[in-house]
Structure 1
């Protein structure tokens, strides 16, 4: 499939939907299965798209155009799967609220449909109340959530708790969950899955209905996370102004500044996610990611250090949040002490 990959990748680079479709048509005519095309062509191409954006070699517009082609082809391939039998279990597949990277959820949905399940695919960034009402109406075998952005985890406990309270198993997956089940369990999910095969296995193993239990009371970490989620739209501009004044003065904003402003909200979402999951590595991950995004676009690495310092200011009165922030701060040069105090 190496030659096909090169041709497909050229089509994505050119945002040529028809050329990409011709590659996929030829492969399926040669006997390559839809699952192979998705696993060996679409998914690796999507990973490459993300890498190129991160390295500032592709623009957001290029990323969106190529992603749209990938999503369209997954839909097209899925249309050839035989219709499931009426008595087969129904599964709801959705992204988490705030999650717009819908391709991983779509791949899972089409994989389950090809395995004979009835699937209701919700897509990206659902409204939690509407989704809960749909779940109550459909009474599915399970609800599957996908998340690529770690910042999307911070506000999910109420929804997952509500679904769990009626006994419907919740299975989660995606890059945001860190490759194992710890974050999933902290949010109240019944299980974590890495692949379609994992999901199919879990649907066989999980009970038809989980034991109904009352969601536990909110912890101090939950309360702090909820405050951050509620006020992140105010905190992010405040921090942005402080960093601009401190680092840029009154000069013209450099090219990387827009990326910086766009991603402050993501950093705050990750802090809320770290609090509700109890996983301090989330803040280490997002700091490394932020440094890579900004330095690839010409920013001085000190910008991230200054951002962490300024983030601590509006978090006075939220000791756990400041502790997680300090724990992810790089040691200051010379004295080995964290640059964000608690």
Structure 2
């Protein structure tokens, strides 16, 4: 089977630090290659893959701001669609824009929906529901207005994450610095718990960082900035626990699965996909308030870090994700 994987072009695939959709697209492509699938990855020209790389955009437009984002997206998507007949199937990780080509090409299209940025984009998904198969990344992120072929959890390269049996004495916030992600709440949880907190991630909301985060930084509340793969592995593995006090219904949460792969349990607000990722009382705690989170932090040491690693390896591995997607592909191609 010849499969085209369409990644976004905001960042390199796989990303150097931030870029969750690019990371998942990369993991899908590399997982399929390992299964013997002929994969062409459509991504930025500086991307890396064991398959065949196809590119017309030199660098991610978030990494090289001299580019116009819409122009880059247009050139990138059309590059694949004009070659659609070369493939048995196209796997779209680029949200709703590629759907507009689905009635114009003969090739079956699978679209992974990485969350809905707005209710308004559902109109596009509804219009093209008959010409693409939709896959959700969690049961929580399904819209009742759409049909779905499957739910496939995001998968990670287990070997990229080192299991740490004995953590250090700090809590970690790992993610975008944005109100949705709850950075300020993580600081409050750490302060009330009497624990050191390390904060790693890109500043996505400068005003929020300036007003709600920066004034509280100290010797015990430390902002590290964006963290690449090597630093991420060390930060996650050595943490006593990951704080994930989200203020939105998160579709998945890669950092949650990453932390557990390192053996690190997670304290998360009980929203979105968190009940699907975390086994309450075994691999972390699902809480509804800062106060409950403070109580949960006191219990982190009682959890089995080996159980965290085993749960995440069994449910959120690259191998499982690739196999699940291949089953979707085979069913769709056979149906076609």
Same fold per TM (> 0.5)? no
Structure in which a larger fraction of residues adopt helix: 1
Structure in which a larger fraction of residues adopt strand: 2
Name which one, 1 or 2, has greater alpha-carbon Rg. Answer: 1
Q: Which one has more relative contact order, counting CA pairs under 8 Å at least 6 apart?
A: 2
TM-score of the superposition, structure 2-length normalised? 0.32
TM-score of the superposition, structure 1-length normalised? 0.32
